């Protein structure tokens, strides 16, 4: 499969992740349906699970620049293909955020100031958590996510179950960290809404690139060390 087709597939998958995950937060979290934090966390997990089954055999279903970096560090993905994947992932996230904004603004009383599910810290953290707390949370959650992905897709693990483990891992990560940063662990997911919202969301976007990528590097290094088989 060509790099171009795989990159386009990554953009499509990331589009679904942002539309499904952020869409559930913006459109349904506090609606009469009221899915709440649990529903939003599950929605993010379901986007990854469904895309992993749908496109995993085409692109590997990274859907996340930090995951792609972690897979490079973990020895599972060629570094030369990283820019194409990241560009496509970010474009997918932006298109999804723009579509979500269009849909959400169709309801009377909608205000972009509500954040469009943007990630934030300090006064823009759902629970009022500090920048330091948010940075550490994003770093640790991403490191664990990458470690789980590398473990679940290891050739020594029974095939076919990885999407379930990865989807549930992302659900758990959101259950833990939505109150802290609204959960990123994915720079593409953060970039789309931030570009639409502007202002504070763009000013704080740096952290939702830096912390997940550092965490992904740590996760990749850790699993590569843990999972290496010693030969006699």
**CATH number of residue 209's parent domain:** 1.20.1080.10
User: Domains in the chain: how many in total?
Assistant: 1
Give me the domain span that covers residue 182.
Answer: 3-106+114-226
User: What does the pLDDT read at residue 4?
Assistant: 96
The residues, ordered by sequence, that sit 6+ positions from 144 with a Cβ below 8 Å of its Cβ are 169, 173, 219
How far apart, in whole angstroms, are the C-alpha atoms of residue 28 and residue 35? 6
Quick one: pLDDT at residue 109? 84
Angle, alpha carbons 39-42-46 (nearest 5°): 135
Other Cβ atoms less than 10 A from the Cβ of 126: the count is 16
* 19 DSSP assignment: H
Domain assignment present for 232? no
Does residue 77 form part of some domain?
Answer: yes
Please give the DSSP secondary-structure letter assigned to residue 124.
Answer: G
- Say if 150 falls within a structural domain: yes
Q: What is the model's pTM?
A: 0.94
Residue 36's CB is within 10 A of a number of other CB atoms, namely 12
Percentage above 70 pLDDT, the chain: 97
Q: How much is the pLDDT for 229?
A: 63
pLDDT of 34 > 90? The answer is no
Calculate the average pLDDT of the chain. 94
């Amino acid at each position: 499969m060509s790099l171009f087709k795989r990159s386009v597939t990554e953009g499509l998958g990331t589009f679904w992740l942002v539309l499904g995950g952020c869409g559930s937060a913006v459109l349904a979290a506090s609606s009469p349906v009221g899915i709440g934090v649990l529903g939003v966390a599950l929605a993010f997990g379901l986007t990854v699970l469904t895309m992993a089954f749908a496109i995993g055999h085409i692109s590997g279903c990274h859907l996340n620049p930090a995951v792609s970096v972690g897979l490079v560090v973990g020895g599972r993905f060629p570094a030369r293909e990283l820019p194409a994947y990241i560009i496509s992932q970010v474009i997918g996230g932006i298109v999804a955020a723009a579509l979500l904004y269009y849909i959400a603004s169709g309801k009377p009383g909608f205000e972009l100031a509500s954040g469009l599910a943007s990630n934030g810290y300090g006064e823009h953290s759902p629970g009022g958590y500090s920048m330091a707390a948010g940075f550490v949370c994003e770093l640790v959650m991403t490191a664990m996510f990458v470690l789980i992905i590398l473990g679940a897709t290891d050739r020594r693990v029974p095939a076919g179950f990885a999407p379930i483990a990865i989807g549930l891992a992302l659900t758990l990560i959101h259950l833990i960290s939505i109150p802290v940063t609204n959960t990123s662990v994915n720079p593409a997911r953060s970039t789309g809404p931030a570009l639409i919202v502007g202002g504070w969301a763009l000013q704080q976007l740096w952290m939702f690139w830096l912390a997940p990528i550092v965490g992904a590097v740590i996760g990749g290094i850790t699993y590569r060390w843990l999972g290496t088989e010693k030969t006699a």
